[in-house]
Amino acid sequence: MAADLRASWWIGDVEIPTRLVLAPMAGVSVQAFRRQGRRFGAGLVCSEMVSSAGIEHRNERTLGYLRVASDEHPLAIQLFGSEPAAMGEAARMVAAAGADIVDVNFGCPVKKVTKTGAGATLLEDPERATAIVAAIADAVDLPVSVKMRRGLRNGSRDCLAVAPHLVEAGAASLTLHPRSAEQMYTGTADHALTRELAALVDVPVVASGDITSRARAEAVLEETGAAAVMVGRGAQGNPWALREIIGAETEPPSREEVAAELILFVRETVRELGERKAVGFLKKFYGWYLGHGRFPKAFKQELVLLDSTAEVERRLLAAAPGALPLVEALEADVPAGDEVTLELPVSIYGGG
């Protein structure tokens, strides 16, 4: 019998309403992305990774990631760093911001992270990795989850060696992307390793990597014994993939639906980042949303060249006039004015 992706499960005392988790992705997982993921069926959404050092030094850009709205819950805010004390203190800030779960990044393969002793590097330093989880678990009452790669190098099994120690230190859930840091995103995810991990620990395991369809999600859950699946790149500009995976709908979106979702995403991103930052940030999303044969390639390239989001919206509505009532309906459902602000500088929340 196929796994029911719309069944709930738990991380500690936090109930997750579906078995689909939207991955934390640097430069992608802004609040607009997370809100959209929840609407399309993700049971848990995650922030992009937040630097514990940035929080410690009250870096304005870093603190700007700590925005939580009512329609995001349950939400995990992901931390990265290599110092247990700083990670514990950062976890307190995450809890104050209103997160439901503190997630710890032991999987980032990017050199600017690993060279600091953070990310996937910590899989080769189990003592420090365990100390970080223990410091966070001691600092907050929220459940702690950990996202891992298999290890730094191809064929590594370091994730299996460190996992029981992380659970003993207080991790309430583990996510495994069974590629090495060396692989980055090449090759295929080795979910035989996910199966081994799920059998090894007595906390829920989330399977990440190459989850591209409902059939694949169901197969991975059945083969591995994982509690849930995590989707990342497949949801970039394509929330309809989430809807398909949980079995809510299989029909592709109309051109009007695509334009409406993109317009709402643009407006929400401007509200969060401010117009100046949003213009550059959004360029990659135009190709993601308008690809898949939904709009001509020339139209995507045209949007990238525009220097204001108002002009982007005008062009989208000209290409899909029926999108406007859809945008209005979507905006009517977006909560306003309910974010936790931690009494931080106004410019963080206004995007200035």
Which residues have C-beta within 8 Å of that of residue 27, sequence separation ≥ 6?
48, 281, 284
- Cβ atoms of 223 and 204 within 8 Å: the answer is no
Please tell me the distance from the alpha carbon of residue 304 to that of residue 18, in angstroms, as a whole number: 35
Rg of the chain (C-alpha set): 20
Peptide bond into 84 cis (omega under 30): no
Burial class (CB in 10 A: 0-12, 13-18, 19+), 351: middle
> Which residue is associated with the tokens 């994982």?
226
The yes-or-no answer on residue 46 being catalytic is no
- Cβ atoms of 117 and 82 within 8 Å: the answer is yes
Amino acid at position 205, single letter: V
- Cβ atoms of 273 and 309 within 8 Å: the answer is no
> Catalytic residue among 108, 163, 203, 241, which?
108
- Cβ atoms of 48 and 29 within 8 Å: the answer is yes
| Catalytic machinery residues | 108
